[in-house]
């Protein structure tokens, strides 16, 4: 069982909370998108109501183990303070004298934000000494950073060995939603897989083959499956070294009784450019110097029909190059079909989440995962190190 924040005694305690405040900054160094900050608010507010002393720790960007002025967390502290409507003390390091003194001065209900934890090389190396230094600042540890739970770093894994540890509300929701979908899905259980490459998603396909009723394949990866069926795809992105594997997956799906659908038509163009002239062709008629950049309308119709009658839908990977208007229809129409479906709908993957957002239907999904890489590893059936340390051994 996952231990959660409700299982911890936090009143008056110093609580170290690992959050995912890895947010985009704009040209002036302000927070450009505060989604991740807002996602951590329920946990922070719960701790404040319980009169805990809240010590937040996060990474930002890839400073590679040393101080990098571009990745200081001061703008995040300012935005968090606005959202909470109370002061947030920003500390310029995450271990050592300065945070120790700041923590000593804290009253119940105070919030401090430590400096970027990746300014120290011990973080990504998960050094025990560094993890202990983080742990020394607090009485208990809460991890609410699902987005980094697939990394065994000091602030996501190491520190949990030295303090009572539990999941925050965001972490709990992610694990419950993704876990429920995989272990106890509504039937029919439909997975939609797309994105650029088969090679990125092999683990996901293999894990889902044993669980789903229906697999809908789109995006660039569909080309490799179509190639395995013997079709010529012009200049489309095809991973020639994965064609045999795709053929094998088609056979395994058939043996497992999984209905695997491939595109029957495609949107093609001469180049992946926003001003390219698109046209729709059947899958066996891709012109030699054209490339497939979206699924076609017949395919959309087929996939929408599967989604409409589904009990649970998991979606990872866009159906086309949705970043460009001529190739966005497949992805957006499917997004709308999920929004309208009665199924439990779960969206994972950074670009898929962005696509659903762009389609304006993110709020109508049962769950849009905040963790790109972490949600993928979860769907692969892997144990996430940051989650494993939050499980009750009993």
Residues annotated within the binding site for ATP are 201, 323, 349-352
Sign of CA dihedral 158, 162, 166, 169: negative
Q: Could you tell me the two tokens for 283?
A: 């899958």
Instruction: Read off the DSSP letter of residue 148.
Output: G
> Judged by CB under 6 A, does residue 93 bind ligand ADP?
no
Stretch that binds ligand ADP, among 7-15, 37-45, 73-81, 312-320 (CB under 6 A): 312-320
Is residue 220 a contact residue for ligand ADP (CB under 6 A)? yes
Which 3 state secondary structure label does DSSP give 126? Answer: coil
Contact 149, 125 (CB under 8 A): no
x/- letters, 232..271, toward ligand ADP (CB under 6 A): -----x----------------------------------
CB of 321 to ligand ADP, least distance (A): 4
Shortest distance in whole angstroms from residue 288 CB to ligand ADP? 17
Tell me if 188 contacts ligand ADP by CB under 6 A: no
Among candidate residues 220, 234, 226, 223, the one with its CA nearest the CA of residue 286: 234
Please say whether the beta carbons of 46 and 17 come within 8 A: no
323 binds, among Mg ion, ligand ADP, none (CB under 5 to 8 A by kind): ligand ADP
Neighbours of 1 (CB within 10 A): 9
Window of 78-86, 302-310, 342-350, 382-390 that interacts with Mg ion by CB under 5 A = 342-350
- Which of 350, 354, 380, 381 binds Mg ion (CB under 5 A)? It is 350
Tokens of 354: 């962005």
Q: Would you name the residues annotated as active-site residues?
A: 36, 197, 350, 373
75 binds, options Mg ion, ligand ADP, none, Cβ within 5 to 8 A by partner type: none
Helix 372-379, helix 202-209: angle, nearest 10: 40
Of 372, 374, 386, 390, the one binding ligand ADP (CB under 6 A) is 372
Cα–Cα distance measured from residue 381 to residue 191, given in angstroms and rounded to the nearest whole number: 14
Binding site partner of 220, from Mg ion, ligand ADP, none, Cβ cut-off 5-8 A by kind: ligand ADP
Q: Is 377 in the site for Mg ion (CB under 5 A)?
A: no
What are the tokens at 391?
Answer: 């499980």
Give residues with Cβ within 8 angstroms of 285, minimum separation 6: none
Least Å from the CB of residue 333 to ligand ADP: 14
Nearer to Mg ion, 44 or 321 (CB): 321
Quick check: 124 binds Mg ion (CB under 5 A)? no
Strand 279-282's sheet: what is its strand order?
279-282, 265-269, 291-295
**Candidate residues 320, 326, 371, 386; the one interacting with ligand ADP per rule CB under 6 A:** 320
Instruction: In angstroms, give the least distance from the CB of 270 to ligand ADP.
Output: 14
| Residues whose CB falls within 8 Å of the CB of residue 123, separated by 6 or more in sequence, listed in order | 59, 65, 117, 130, 153, 154, 155
- In the complex, least distance from residue 351 CB atom to Mg ion, rounded to whole angstroms: 4
Which DSSP helix (H) or strand (E) runs through 47? helix 41-49
Residue 175 and residue 387 in contact, taking contact as beta carbons nearer than 8 Å: yes
**Binding region for ligand ADP (CB under 6 A):** 194-196, 200, 219-220, 237, 292-293, 316-318, 320-321, 323, 349-352, 372
């Amino acid at each position: 069982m996952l231990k959660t924040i409700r299982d911890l005694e936090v009143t008056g305690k110093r609580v170290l909370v690992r959050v995912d405040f890895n947010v985009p900054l704009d040209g002036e160094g302000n927070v450009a998108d505060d989604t991740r900050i807002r996602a951590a608010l329920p946990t922070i507010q719960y701790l404040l109501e319980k009169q805990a002393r809240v010590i937040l720790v996060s990474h930002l960007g890839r400073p590679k183990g040393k101080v990098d002025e571009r990745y200081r967390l001061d703008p995040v502290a300012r935005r968090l303070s606005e959202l909470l409507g109370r002061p947030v003390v920003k500390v310029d390091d995450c271990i050592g004298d300065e945070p120790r003194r700041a923590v000593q001065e804290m009253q119940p209900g105070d919030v401090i934000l430590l400096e970027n934890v990746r300014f120290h090389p011990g973080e990504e190396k998960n050094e025990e000494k560094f993890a202990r230094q983080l742990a020394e600042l607090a009485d208990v540890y809460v991890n609410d950073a699902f987005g980094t739970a697939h990394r065994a770093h000091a602030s996501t894994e190491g520190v949990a060995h030295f303090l009572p540890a539990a999941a925050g509300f965001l972490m709990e929701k992610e694990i419950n939603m993704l876990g429920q979908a995989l272990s106890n899905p509504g039937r029919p259980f439909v997975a939609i897989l797309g994105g650029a490459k088969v090679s990125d998603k092999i683990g996901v396909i293999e894990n889902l083959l044993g669980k789903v009723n229906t697999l809908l394949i789109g995006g660039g990866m569909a080309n490799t499956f179509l190639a395995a069926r013997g079709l010529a795809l012009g200049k489309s992105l095809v991973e020639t070294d994965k064609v045999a594997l795709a053929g094998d997956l088609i056979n395994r799906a058939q043996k497992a009784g999984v209905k695997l659908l491939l595109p029957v038509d495609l949107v093609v163009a001469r180049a992946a450019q926003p001003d390219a002239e698109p046209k729709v062709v059947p899958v066996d008629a891709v012109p030699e110097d054209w490339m497939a950049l979206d699924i076609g309308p017949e395919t959309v119709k087929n996939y929408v029909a599967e989604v409409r009658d589904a009990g649970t839908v998991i979606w990872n990977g866009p159906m086309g190059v949705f970043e460009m208007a001529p190739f966005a229809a497949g992805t957006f129409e499917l997004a709308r079909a999920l929004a309208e479906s009665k199924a439990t709908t779960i969206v994972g993957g950074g670009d898929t989440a962005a696509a659903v957002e762009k389609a304006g239907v993110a709020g109508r999904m049962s769950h849009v995962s905040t963790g790109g890489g972490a949600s993928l590893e979860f769907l692969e059936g892997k144990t996430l190190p940051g989650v494993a340390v939050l499980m009750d051994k009993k």
